[in-house]
A and B are shown apart, each in its own frame.
Chain A
């Protein structure tokens, strides 16, 4: 028959678990009461329902955040790409427009010069023809008349080159 003892020292030294104590063997009522109460505390604690919460709530939130960030990143990249493409398009457009403009200006200037030169040629030609008409034939060598290949109807109607 087991002796009634005080609360086992081993228990207080941590060498025995609560379940390993045979309460019937404890002599001291206070000690027995302690073990009894302690066991009740443990069972009450373990029986208590834990709150119903979602273990993975933060994971879900994190995944959502990452999705949003991914979208934001993609959107930013897209925006940057669009901005860059837009910028370069505008740049190239203006560059091309400027080049075209430069070329247009160059052509316009050349056009002006061509007109001047052609006009000068025409003017001098007509002036010289007029001089011929006014000069007496005696001052001109005969060979020059032979060289006349001008057989047009001059817009200046008082000149009758065809008859020369």
Chain B
């Protein structure tokens, strides 16, 4: 009896876990989120990254980063998380099929929740930052180490990039 209860609970948990994933692709979900109220959307294509990697007025370091990127998408809430505003984290997770992705980390506080996902393949790497007020999707040959180092790189480079 007790075993049956545990199995049932586990099944429910796993069902819920499955229910947390939708059927849409990441791109489709971005389209959905884009259409939401008070959402800003930003996208960079592989072509643009190629151009950015070739611009004359940048450092080699920056060019190196650009060479390793093939795509970038971001949806973001305009003015932080309001009560009436959609929870992007929920919306993203409910709609997207994250098959092949592994969750790296999740951090949750009373005010916000953030998760990091990664998918590695021969074709390239994909990274997701999913947050209540934003989702960032990065693709390319870049590795997570480089992404993490970028903050430091920017802090050193500082004013050269107008930050």
Contacts and interface: CB of A to CB of B under 8 A. Distances in A.
Contacts of A107: 48, 51-52, 55
A146 to B, nearest CB: 9
Interface residues of B, number: 43
A125 B151 CA distance: 10
Interface in A111-149: 111-126, 128-129, 131-132, 144, 147-149
Interface of A: 107, 110-126, 128-129, 131-132, 144, 147-150, 152-156
B150 A122 contact: yes
Contacts of A110: 44, 48, 52
Interface of A is mostly: helix
Contacts of A155: 148-149, 152
Nearest to A113: B42
Given A107-B51, A112-B162, A149 B151 contact: no
Nearest to A116: B163
A114 B136 CA distance: 11
Contact of B42 (A117, A126, A148, A149): A117
A128 B134 CA distance: 15
B112 to A, nearest CB: 10
Contacts of B154: 115, 119, 122
A118 B147 CA distance: 7
B151 to A, nearest CB: 4
B144 interface: yes
Nearest to A131: B107
A129 B151 CA distance: 13
B129 A121 contact: yes
For the complex of A and B, 3 pairs with smallest distance between CB atoms: A152-B145, A122-B150, A122-B151
Interface string B66-92: 100100101000000000000000000
